[in-house]
Structure 1
């Protein structure tokens, strides 16, 4: 398994293209600049299978429709945020003077969905609310990587002052779900550089003493 990070939009959101040896691919959080994302997919000669969302804030969904329509892809999102795709108050775009929406998802995940298999990709679906109520992280054990969305960053954690956010809930999610992963697990966040679970356990100032 390999992945490519594409940083897009005014808030520098990380979109990820995960792909295998057969050039099949999963697109995670296409946040903006759909043309740029599609150009990267085409240059790698990939065959996308699906779009996965870690959560539905506006900076993670802005290119969903352009990518999905280009390749006729299913879209996966947690049930608690399925209506955020069309609600600019909940997805936050209204508060930043924008009107960013996406068409409804074709596949809705719940807290009972612990795994997800698409093609050769086998994810563990970790419910990691706090940054938003329906935030999920996708753990790919075979690649020793977790796509954490905006739950955990290098040296930081997600903001919790937006609609439905809760710092207590987020810290609980990080401690009970993400920090239980092997320390060598690469953390691929929604913003900023990659890190590892071990590095965050040792040095993240927001997690000290938790």
Structure 2
């Protein structure tokens, strides 16, 4: 049975500070309203705490890990179930996410979060054009949240804290597969407010992340 358990410290499983979801692999992506300057420094991602720190030039050193380009080259596939436990960031401008990417597309957002919308999680299937904004009192800056995403052939299904909250009825199709990305971005201000003056650091944590076939991931 193929079960992937994330060990963020593993250089076989994860590449730090580079992603082809960013122009030329990074380190910056201003076109997506990000102040990010990706860094490979393990302090920014390898512990499972994803950090961002302000630079003198106004950009932010940010942590990103991806399975793309790694020795193991793990990919999420149709039917897989991803489960994660995350601690949401508190600072305005923080933009954490778990998502997929391959060949300029194949993006499924397990979650995105912006503290200026403190009770809202965003879920998006960019492959087949579906999405949902979920509000709940258990979602707030600093909260621990349990996430589950089922990458179904005919429907991608999102769960939060053990409850199903959205099924898109679009799915990913039989042949879908994509690399996994975990990162903390920083908003530049076009879609969400940038960091407040005086903020120089922010972080969010992923304490657990697994990907498994449906029979292993079923409640």
- TM-score, with normalisation over the residues of structure 2? 0.26
Structure with the higher fraction of residues in helix conformation: 1
